[in-house]
Chain A
């Protein structure tokens, strides 16, 4: 929980990871390239005081994660969104067993989402059913540019993707987090294009489709489908840290999202351990749209509370202390559209 000027904010960090990118776990050069890319994101957008040494960045471990999120970072609940990256790391990038064990020890603080890959076809589908039971899955994280054998990505409207999404419906996995990446076959078209998400959102109206980093670098394509598909949500991973280094750009992103979606479909995340939540929460609560940007309305405290935690808490059915909830009047305002999370 974060308190400022008498207001209490429930903080749900909707996208965190526990990864191992140490050299002994790197399968090949791409393992190093991948974590180096993350580290450049981290160094480029973090305040100087929050930059980690490279060695620490390679692996953070459960104890540090608990401290960074819950002791120092004001987070009340966080959701693991793992990327497996088996083509780059011997034992995977996201540490399934370690993260799940941590979530079991702290069920009030951590939710473990897992991932699937439609290119494993029937075997993967059977695995998904076992995973749903073992992990008690409420959500999954999909990285469409994951490399797998000769393939360097898949689309969400591939026939096998549809079978996995149907399985999610049957298994009660309602929250589908999607991270678009750059390599996908064929290379003829834009891999960041979100047209397949549009199709899936239309065909699976009872699933919440959360598009991580709000479609960036294709914010415009994302906004366009999200305005038409009420079950499409914006995850703020990667967008959040611009609040420090490029506050006017951040204002434009938030301004556009609030215009095209609404305040009920935007979720905060730190994308830990790319960044840490403490400074992001502090700066977001203090943030305001610059006065000269007359095309965007000022951010309200209620909107900030929804984005920082209430929206995702509703989606994941996580109890919010009464002192952090919105007065019923404001809540009903927020719920007036159909665009609420399927809980």
Chain B
């Protein structure tokens, strides 16, 4: 298991080939590093003192060559060690993630998601760095140290001895100072924490301070903390700097000794000048590897501690094997037998006690009881989400405990209480279960459900209309979809003749001469579709032609003012809220641009509109042009401005028709509008409300019209490509639940576990799904359905009633009701 591996494992298992290359490079580097020293000596002794220019050039040539190659080699070492380290880090991250995903569910109830994130993202990084350095740094620097020291001894053993003699002092003194500095640092951290909590307290009690006018008292209290911190910080910095100074001092003391001893020896003629210079260089250079070793020691400690903490945090065994290994996953029929099942969690709490029950293949059982009675837990033990602690659960004679995850998922579909929808399209989520079991299958393509299967599942789960709606809300590329866009124009005509009057109240039709409240300001001015890209979308505002037009039509200033008001109000309301879909649905500022507008609002606070910078003007104009008064209710659009815009529309129309007739196609009943969604194209307008009843009416009309044109599947298929957002936050709770049901229906497993799968659905959807389970799956799939509301359980083969972790009664609904036991009490409400 990954969590048992020591940090050295990753060093041993890092890229050995690269490590070897690295070692070779290091040997070369160290050798090359010695060349300049020897050259220095030769330049002084042979070239300069003998006054030989040719020798000087030659030695200097060697010198520069060795310096250049030493730098290049050093770079090569860094590249290699970075590669090795990052490769090890990537491996660590992947393997740890794979391990975390297999940890038991119980683990995650206690685990802090922030810790999981920081472990994988930040905490492991030093470990990777360490693996990269673990060979390169110590070897390079030790070798360099030895080489330099060796060279110094080779030049003159006495002087070498003298210069190295200083190091023991450093080795002795530095750690002592370091310890003191660490102690002071700890004090600093503690005091800072007190200080923060004190500030926190003061700020939350600010009204009391204002009320009492106790400014002086509070300043005094705060001052005391600051003074304490002042003293501690001084001590800490003194120690910290002291270490540096000490290091420096010894470093500088070296040359002094060398000069005094070496100089004396040189004067005596026992030591040549070149050697002295080489010695000085060697002495200075010995400091670098020394420092790097010290740093490495710190990385080693830091990485070791963090790595250990991360691994300890995740040091839990997975409860089940993932793959069966030597055999194919078993095929189950769904004969479930539960005997004396018990489930005890830490703290000796018995969630399930002595449960016995049995289901034949294809039988359906409803599990009911008060919340907390253990019905979900029982379903989760049967479906291997929890590892039960006593008794047995057998499916077709196999003990669930001993089956692997692969065995279970091939035979079971689970709809969880709060099903999770991952970011991606509706289709991705619909195929999620199927894709998981077909992963790696050579016949993946053939076995995956096709379009008709998906549409069927979507219909069964009752999310068809929603997907249709998503499809209707997509944009078409008319150049690729000429035929489709022509057919949609036909649908539009039918819509207007069949439903136009009936829905007139809830749809705002595109009509010249009328301000459109559900279309953006830009749309109201242009009232057409640009064929020229410089007029479309975000580019419109930077288009010179359009800008000139806005000025001419006297629209620029009022729009700037509108933009500023929008920005101010939106920032005021949504100031610190997370970018959640719900909050930004009605916001004129899209979530991804919110931070920019927040800054803008702060920046232009008091600036008169006339003095704004061009960049800011563009941002405000863009906001104003995207403003849809019917949706963005934060700011009201003054009626004066509406009239101005309508005048502008006329002006723009005649101007562009005269000057650039090909740049725009104005909205016309007989033409497809590419910049509008399919729905808006069919309506030739925009729906005014998203109230479910109105939506229903629109959806019904759409379904009918699309069927007439044989386009229903096509549009639904487009809807399957809808991006559901992170955690599916663009879907409602009901839609998420239906999607999860559809996903399981599509998988069509022999065993289904539904844990309050329809709790977020209305009566109609709930009854339809219930009906399907009874007609389509009864006798085909064994079903355990945890049910909170009791109005749908009558037709189950069995009803099991739980109370306080015990199965109180099991049997057909009528039998239990006749018995007037616990079920009777539940249904008729003892409370």
Q: Do A and B interact with each other, yes or no?
A: no
Show the binding face of A for B, using Cβ within 8 Å.
Answer: none
